[in-house]
Amino acid sequence: MNIIVSDEIKSVCPSFVGAGVIADVVNAGRNDELWNEIKEWGDKYKAEYTTETIKSIPSIEATRKVYRACGKDPSRYRPSGEALIRRMLHNLKLYQIDTLVDLINLVSIAYGYSIGGFDANKFEGDTLTLGIGKENEPYEGIGRGLINIHGLPVYRDKLGGVGTPTSDNERTKIEISTTKILVIVNGYDGDRKNVLACAHYVQELLKKYACSDGGKIIEF
């Protein structure tokens, strides 16, 4: 898989750093141990932050800044990392989907990055390009129906958009039958060390919760 950062993204975020993890996996339903980890992070945020102060977390602040630079209101189209933490601070339950999706949400909560999680077998072509959404560009968000991605950072494969920081696309979503995933960490804060630490955390969780014997994990 080739991942290209377009010039239009570089123009609004020249310091962008990304990392990807591709892995052979076995998905499952709810994992109570994983959800205990999610709860621990929720307790930590409730003790240390409010819905206003989380905006100052560098990974969240930088993503919001890029939204504005691209022409999108981050308070109307919230980046997923911020949205997940806000739900916890409001004592709202997070949606329980399956082990892989819940695992990716945990990573996003822990680091504040908006994490792209895809079924790697559903891509068309071998290249993803990170660009900016265009006027009237068709895009079906997971569980959201058609959404307006004009002004949102968006990964596109050969057929079109597959992922934004607000919502990934129905076409390439992870399902219980998924056997190979691609996880992308989007570091609009330019913090290479933190982005790599986040990618390593993805690997740790995959090994712990979702990789079968002989499962292969590749980081790039």
Q: For 35-75, how does the pLDDT look when each residue is reduced to its tens digit (9 = 90+)?
A: 999 999 999 999 999 999 999 999 999 999 999 999 999 99
How do residues 162-179 score in pLDDT, each as one tens digit? 999 999 999 999 999 999
pLDDT band at 184 (very low <50, low <70, confident <90, very high): very high
What is the pTM assigned to this prediction?
Answer: 0.95
pLDDT band at 83 (very low <50, low <70, confident <90, very high): very high
Q: What is the mean pLDDT of residues 2-21?
A: 96
Give me the pLDDT at residue 56, please.
96
Does the pLDDT of residue 152 top 70, yes or no? Answer: yes
How do residues 95-151 score in pLDDT, each as one tens digit? 999 999 999 999 999 999 999 999 999 999 999 999 999 999 999 999 999 999 999
pLDDT band at 218 (very low <50, low <70, confident <90, very high): confident
Task: Determine the topology of domain 2-219 in CATH.
Answer: Phenylalanyl-tRNA Synthetase; Chain B, domain 3 (3.50.40)
* Contact (Cβ atoms closer than 8 angstroms) between residue 127 and residue 158: yes
DSSP the chain: -EEEE-HHHHHH-TT-EEEEEEEE----S--HHHHHHHHHHHHHHHHH--TTGGGGSHHHHHHHHHHHHHT--TTTS--HHHHHHHHHHTTPPPPP--HHHHHHHHHHHHH---EEEEEGGG-SSSEEEEEE--TT---EETTTEE---TTSEEEE-SSSEEE-SS-BBGGG---TT--EEEEEEEETT--HHHHHHHHHHHHHHHHHHTPPTT--EEE-
Rounded to whole angstroms, the Cα distance separating 161 from 114 reads: 16
Does the pLDDT of residue 212 top 70, yes or no? Answer: no
Rounded to whole angstroms, the Cα distance separating 42 from 24 reads: 29
Strand pairing class (115-119; 180-187): antiparallel
Give backbone dihedrals phi and psi of 63, rounded to 5 degrees, phi first: -65, -40
* Contact (Cβ atoms closer than 8 angstroms) between residue 120 and residue 181: yes
pLDDT band at 211 (very low <50, low <70, confident <90, very high): confident
